[in-house]
């Protein structure tokens, strides 16, 4: 969940990169640059999805539970596709709400799997 939270912040910083750079605010996105910030954004999702099955395997939950997360994974995949296509930082605005809400949905589904799995 930490990676999803950082992804929301990273997306916000990508949107505000031009302003932040102009006023001397040194965010990670300003230091990385627009292209590398997009790569970093994708890496955050890769880490999140690589890490979440570990507790399920440790505590012997059914791998069928992972199917519950498929809709959220599709939302995140579409989100990453849109992020990589963005050329103007202002285009990130609609994606901010989507990634924040889908991260919340992911946490609810994951919590449900832990409780009822």
pLDDT tens by residue, 34-61:
999 999 999 999 999 898 777 777 776 6
33 versus 69: the higher-pLDDT residue is: 33
Q: Output the average pLDDT for the chain.
A: 88
* Cα separation, 85 vs 28, whole angstroms: 20
**Taking the chain, what is the end-to-end CA distance rounded to the nearest angstrom?**
19
Residue 63: the pLDDT is 67
Give yes or no for residue 115 having a pLDDT over 80. Answer: no
Which tokens go with 79?
């989100």
Give yes or no for residue 5 having a pLDDT over 90. Answer: yes
Residue 74 pLDDT level (bands cut at 50, 70, 90): very high
Give yes or no for residue 64 having a pLDDT over 70. Answer: no
Q: How many Cβ atoms from other residues are within 10 Å of residue 31's Cβ?
A: 10
Residue 112: the pLDDT is 80
Give yes or no for residue 15 having a pLDDT over 90. Answer: yes
């Amino acid at each position: 969940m930490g990676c999803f939270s950082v992804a929301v912040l990273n997306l916000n910083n990508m949107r505000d990169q031009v302003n932040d750079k102009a006023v001397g605010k040194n965010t990670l996105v300003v230091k990385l640059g627009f292209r590398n910030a997009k790569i970093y954004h994708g890496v955050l999702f890769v880490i999140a999805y690589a890490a979440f099955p570990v507790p399920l395997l440790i505590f012997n939950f059914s791998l069928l539970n992972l199917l519950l997360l498929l809709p959220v994974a599709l939302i995140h995949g579409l989100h990453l596709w849109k992020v990589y296509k963005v050329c103007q930082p202002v285009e990130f605005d609609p994606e901010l709400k989507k990634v924040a809400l889908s991260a919340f949905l992911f946490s609810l589904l994951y919590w449900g799997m832990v409780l009822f799995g």
